[in-house]
Amino acid sequence: MQIEHNKVIWQNLANPGYQDLTFIEKELGVSPLVLKDLLAFNKRPKIEEYDNYLLLVIHFPVFNEETRQTAPAELDFIVTRDRVISVYQNPNPALEELLKEIQGDPSRHPDFFKSSGWLLFCILDQMIDSCLPMLDHIHEKIEHIEEQVFEGKEKEMLKEIAIVKRDITDFRRTIKPQRSVLELLGRKNARFFQEDLDIISQEIIGSEIRVWNTLENHKEMIESIESTNSGLLSFQINQVMHTLTFFSILLFSLTFIASFFSMRALEGAGGFDIWKIIGIMLITVALIVIIFKKKKWL
């Protein structure tokens, strides 16, 4: 897919093969090593400056609804002074939606296609902002978990808490390395693009910081809820243990009394009325209950 306006071109290559990228090598003189980077999965974001183009490798989180897991989706850019080429191997819904919006609405072209550098920063800004709805979804899940915890569904929420924590961890792993690359891109823009892009560059870094701060808030919230949930579960376990302890002591005491008088009867000792024995047992039960109530164990 290709969009052109104001002598600036945006080419998007989704899941390309090596043959699909040969024109980059021929027209722009891109190194074969760079082509391999475009086809391979790079674990870390990076930016490399060459004589007539920039290579930018960056990752954005993509949520898989089937596995309920967030995974990093790599997005590569080859940027020249009049062209932006975006390359990705795995589906990237946010970028695909942005492409459709721009292609379907020519009135937006002047806002994006002022220059190749401006276009690159606009794409990055939109991609970073696309993280916010995913963070809102995480926030909604956290609120749902909180409600369920205080409705007595502590055990059911253990797995949900673990899923949200994994989601936040994957999100953080994807977002955290970006800032240094974006800051380095901001320092390179004046030299490479030969224009002042500091305002939009700072806006992008600010958006990334906003996303990171939101992630930190979500992390603190889910950790607090997890701590509360663990406390409630521990309280329930303690209540069960108190109950089991009460019945254990009660049964042991009654068994001891019954065994004691049984032994006395076998030894030939008389004068043991069954009602007296029952009375002793009832007094013992009453004493145990009073002690447990006084200690607030029941």
Q: Is the pLDDT of residue 267 over 70?
A: no
Q: Provide the pLDDT confidence category of residue 272 given band limits of 50, 70 and 90.
A: low
Q: Provide the pLDDT confidence category of residue 269 given band limits of 50, 70 and 90.
A: low
CB-based contacts of 43, cutoff 8 Å, min separation 6: none
Q: What is the mean pLDDT of residues 238-264?
A: 82
Return the pLDDT at 221: 92
CATH superfamily of this structure's domain 2-235: CorA soluble domain-like (3.30.460.20)
Q: Provide the pLDDT confidence category of residue 271 given band limits of 50, 70 and 90.
A: low
What is the average pLDDT value for the chain, to the nearest integer? 84
Rounded-to-integer distance, Cα 269 and Cα 256, Å: 17
Q: Provide the pLDDT confidence category of residue 224 given band limits of 50, 70 and 90.
A: very high
Q: Is the pLDDT of residue 218 over 90?
A: yes
Return the pLDDT at 290: 85
Nearest to 34 by CA among 1, 80, 3: 80
Return the pLDDT at 144: 92
Report pTM: 0.76
Q: What is the pLDDT of residues 164-185, one digit of tens each?
A: 999 899 888 888 888 888 888 8
Q: Provide the pLDDT confidence category of residue 143 given band limits of 50, 70 and 90.
A: very high
Q: Is the pLDDT of residue 296 over 80?
A: no
Domain ranges of the chain: 2-235, 239-294
Nearest to 288 by CA among 250, 232, 260: 250
